[in-house]
Amino acid sequence: MLKILSLFLAVALWFAVGGEERIETTLSVPLEIVNLDPQLMITSEVPSGLQLRLAGPRSIIRALTQSRLVHSVDLAGAKPGRLSLPFGPASFNLPRGVTILRVHPNPLSLTIVETAVRTLPLQPVLAGTPPEGYEVKAVDLRPSFVSVKGPVEELQDLKVLATLPIDVSTLTGPATLVTDLDVKNLHLTLTNPVPLLAEVTVVEKTIRRTLSGLPVAAQPLPARLAPSQVTVILEGPYREVKDLKAADLLAVVDTSGLKPGQHRLAVKVELPPRLKLLKVTPATVAVQVRRPS
C-alpha cells in the first residue's frame, strides 16, 4: 500500500508541476574559483557571478530565486596559459523541469600565470603642497619594505613600489597618514597585509630677507654717524620674516666711554629670538662724538 501511495503522490505531483505555468527569469549565481595551485594566479578579470536565463514551472523558479546558489569552478591541475571553460546544461545542478536557455559569460576565459614573491622598497608619492610658508621636510614610510606576490613577468623588472598619492595640501605640522600601494594595472598582493603608514614631517619654511635703510642709533652718548643707515641680511621662520620691516629692527653703535673725536664702531643689530643675522653692510660706521658745550 505504501508503494502504491508513493506512486500516486509522485504521479499527482508530476501532473501538478507539468500543468503549472512556465516562466522565464534571469538568475545571478555567484562564482567561486577553487583548488588553484598556490604558485599560480589568475590575471584576467573574473566575473563575480554567472547570469543564467532559466525557464521552468513558476513555483520551482520562485524557489530558485530565493535560494543561495553558488557555482564552483575547479581549477585543480590547471597550467599557466589561456583557459576556456564552456558551460552546458550539465554544468549546473538544477531541479528537474528547469531548462537553461542561456549562460553569460559562456565560455569563461581565464588567463593563468606563474607567480613569484619579492621584497621591494616603498617610495612615497605626494599630492599637492603644504599651505604657504610650510614645506615637507621628510616622509618616512612604515614599513619601508614590503613583500608582494604577483606574476613573474610583472615582478622581474620592478625596483620600487610607489604609494598612492599622499595629500599634504592641508598639513602645517607632523602627521601620520594611512596610505596603500599604487599597483595600477599590476596584479600584486601583499604576502603579509599590514597598514602602510606615512610619517610626514611638515615644518615652517626658513627664508632670507634683505632689508635696506635700517637707521643706526648711537647709545648712550649722542654722536654723528656716517653712514647713518645700514643694510642687513637675516634669516628666520617664514611668518616672522615675510612681513618684517626695517622699522621693526634696532641697529646701534655703543658710544659709552668714548672721548670726543672720530671713531669707527661696529654696528650691532638687535633681532627677535628666532631670527639670525647673516650680514650687515657696512659692518662699521664712522662716529663723531662732539665735545660737551
Tell me: the pLDDT tens digits for 8-18?
666 555 555 45
CATH number for the domain harbouring residue 236: 2.170.120.30
**Residues 79, 127 within the same domain:** no
Boundary residue ending a domain (184, 204, 224) = 204
Q: Specify the number of domains making up the chain.
A: 3
**Is residue 15 in some structural domain?**
no
pLDDT tens-digit series, residues 120-165: 999 999 999 999 999 999 999 999 999 999 999 989 888 999 999 9
Of 106, 123, 157, which closes a domain?
106
pLDDT for residue 18: 52
Does 30 map to a domain? Answer: yes
d(CA 101, CA 56): 10
Residue 42 belongs to some domain of the structure: yes
Q: What pLDDT is recorded for position 166?
A: 96
Higher pLDDT, 97 or 252: 252
Question: For 222-278, what is each residue's pLDDT tens digit?
Answer: 999 999 999 999 999 999 999 898 888 999 999 999 999 999 999 999 998 889 999
Residue 199 pLDDT greater than 70, yes or no: yes
Residue carrying the nine cell digits 596584479: 187
Residues 277 and 211 in one domain: yes
Phi, psi torsion values for 272, nearest 5 degrees? -60, 160
Domain of residue 95: give its range.
Answer: 20-106
21, 23, 28, 31 alpha-carbon torsion, rounded to 10°? 70
Backbone angles phi, psi at 66, to 5 degrees: -95, -5
Choose the final residue of a domain: 106, 134, 167. Answer: 106
Q: Are residues 40 and 78 both part of a single domain?
A: yes
